[in-house]
Chains A and B, each alone.
Chain A
Amino acid sequence: MLRVEGIDAGYGRAQILRGVSLEAPAGRITCLMGRNGAGKTTTMKAIMGFLPLRAGRITLDGEDLGHLPPHEVPRRGIGYVPQGRRLFAELTVAQNLEIGMMTRRSPPEVLERVLSLFPRLRERMDQRAETLSGGEQQMLAMARALCLRPRLLLLDEPTEGLQPSMIALIRQVVERMRDEGVAILLVEQRIDAVLSIADQVVFMENGRVVDGAAGEALRADPGPLHRYLGV
């Protein structure tokens, strides 16, 4: 279980996050929602250790992450699928996956399993990542994160700009990870997607967490979704 407790963080002198607290339990999908600029991506970067914490604590299964050097954070079992994919563009598909495999020295079976989730990648192992289609790039970003055998998956708008069949594939994989007991923190903007997949939802506004709701409750009354997303 990921526990974020009252963190303040930002870029340089600009403070973005103010007292952000949230929890992402194992085997559940926690959705993080909020308008553009609310601080969702910044929250994920803070969890990954890119931004120094000015206050608060971040723990994964009780272990403090905030004091680790940034490259030690993923080694605790955190897979990050960043917004905009951010693949190693000039490296091949195989090399991008190799880097995921190296993070926690995953045994070779892990790669086989990941490729069985995304068979399209297997045909393109020697292709440079930047030449993949948008959908394939997103698969690779997911696959790279899964290669480190995550206990916690951070997914930042993994379906942005994808066609329905691709969205369905990503969603299938996310549900499968959830069933295997991975804690999932998902930034997602599409309300229908959130309603159908979320176990719980956290709403952010201007760098603060302003509300939270169980998935069940939102399916009964989606009011808060419309309120906090302003649609």
Chain B
Amino acid sequence: MDFGPYLLLASLEGAVLASVLALMASGLSLVFGVMRVVNVAHGEFYMLGAVLAWWVASLAGGSVVLGFVLALVLAPLIVGAIAATADIVVLRRLSYDPERTIVATIGLLYIIQQLTLMSYGPEARPVVAPFNTRLAIPWFEFADGGLRMYWPWGLSTTSYKLFVIFAAVAVLLGIRVMMTRSRAGLLMRATQQDREIAQAFGIPVERVYAVVFGIGAGLAALAGVLIVPIQQAHYLMGLDALLLSFIVVIIGGLGSLAGTVIAAVLIGMSEGIISVFFSPTLAKIIATLLVAFVLVFRPQGLMGKRVR
């Protein structure tokens, strides 16, 4: 295979990773943006999404499509409810003090992880994709003075991977519309900008926080559901995902949704391409270096604002 088709293949893999990462990291970014809470348990919500997807799919039995659709709807809802409860029961009692919330979410991380180990077990389990047609991709070459289309061997993707990309784009657009156009988004943004004054205008700030924490976790869970047909569900899968999300959110600018999406594409694509051509380890090294450079030269991130 020539270089061109090979690069396209790597980019497609990268785009799938970028989509899942963008979903997950925007949850982290939303929570930090509105609540100023660094949620260390975010990766566990992603893992819970994946594990619940397996669970729902196996309960649904024979029907793969039904099981997957149910998982897509139920897992984010269940995880969102768990997170909102954790917010009300734990974070609210700490008055959202930045340091104590970090410690509390670390505790949450281990509780969720160990409970999953005890109930779900240490195995990695797959979920069958609801559809998984192989789609061959054409390429072009110059021959006899004209452009000729051909189908390189091995250049293909699956309908499921394309679905993941479209689903992520749709959900992210939905989040954006919610934040900029809806009443709920207005309440969230007002709370983000001045919590006290938001209260002085009747906004139930604590309820807004619980909802935001729930939505953030729900986004991570959705990312988890989307990834299981590609990666399998495992109780430790949250850690890597959390690390990548932090990288993305730091590069994009904490609290900026647009920055988060841009950074997710950057990291996801480069990770995909570098892993295919070189090695996954090199991809990790480069991502980490990128974070170091951003922290040194642009601490507020690509799109973030300086702290006022």
Contacts and interface: CB of A to CB of B under 8 A. Distances in A.
A99 B201 contact: yes
Interface in B164-187: 183, 186
Interface stretch (B123-131, B192-200, B228-236, B268-276): B192-200
Given A98-B186, A99-B186, A90 B203 contact: no
B205 interface: yes
Contacts of B186: 91, 95, 98-99
Contact of A102 (B193, B194, B197, B202): B202
A71, A73, A75 — which one has the most chain B CB atoms within 10 A of its CB? A71
A88 interface: yes
B284 interface: no
A71 B193 contact: no
Nearest to B208: A71
Contacts of A82: 197, 200
Interface string A68-88: 011111110000101000101
Contacts of A104: 202
A91 B189 CA distance: 8
Contacts of B204: 69, 71
B82 interface: no
A70 B196 CA distance: 9
B161 to A, nearest CB: 37
B199 A71 contact: yes
Of listed B190, B198, B200, B205, residue having the most chain A CB within 10 A: B200
Nearest to B202: A103
B200 A74 contact: yes
A134 B200 CA distance: 21
B199 A50 contact: yes
Contacts of A86: 194, 196-197
Main DSSP-derived SS at the B contact region: helix
Contact of A88 (B190, B199, B205): B190
Contacts of B205: 70-71
Interface string B239-282: 00000000000000000000000000000000000000000000
Interface residues of B, number: 16
A48 interface: yes
A110 interface: no
Contacts of A102: 183, 201-202
Given A88-B189, A91-B190, A99-B190, A71 B202 contact: yes
A102 B189 CA distance: 15
A71 B202 CA distance: 4
B99 to A, nearest CB: 15
B201 A74 contact: yes
A50 B199 CA distance: 8
Contacts of B189: 88, 90-91
Interface in A138-192: 144, 148
A148 B197 contact: no
Interface in A39-93: 48-50, 69-75, 80, 82, 86, 88-91
B190 A70 contact: no
A86 B201 CA distance: 12
A100 interface: yes
B194 A71 contact: no
B193 A144 contact: no
Contacts of B190: 88, 91, 95, 99
Contacts of B199: 48-50, 70-71, 74
Contacts of B193: 88-91
B201 A103 contact: yes
Contacts of A74: 199-202
A144 B197 CA distance: 11
A48 B202 CA distance: 11
B242 to A, nearest CB: 28
A129 B194 CA distance: 13
B197 A71 contact: no
Contacts of A49: 199
Question: Which 9 A-B pairs rank lowest in CB-CB distance, beginning with the nearest?
Answer: A103-B202, A70-B199, A80-B200, A88-B193, A71-B204, A71-B199, A103-B201, A74-B202, A86-B197
7 contacts: A71-B202, A71-B203, A80-B197, A82-B197, A91-B190, A148-B201, A148-B202
Interface of A: 48-50, 69-75, 80, 82, 86, 88-91, 95, 98-100, 102-104, 144, 148
Given A49-B199, A71-B203, A72-B202, 18 more contacts: A48-B199, A48-B200, A69-B204, A70-B200, A71-B199, A71-B205, A75-B202, A80-B201, A86-B196, A88-B193, A91-B186, A91-B190, A95-B186, A95-B190, A99-B203, A102-B201, A102-B202, A103-B201
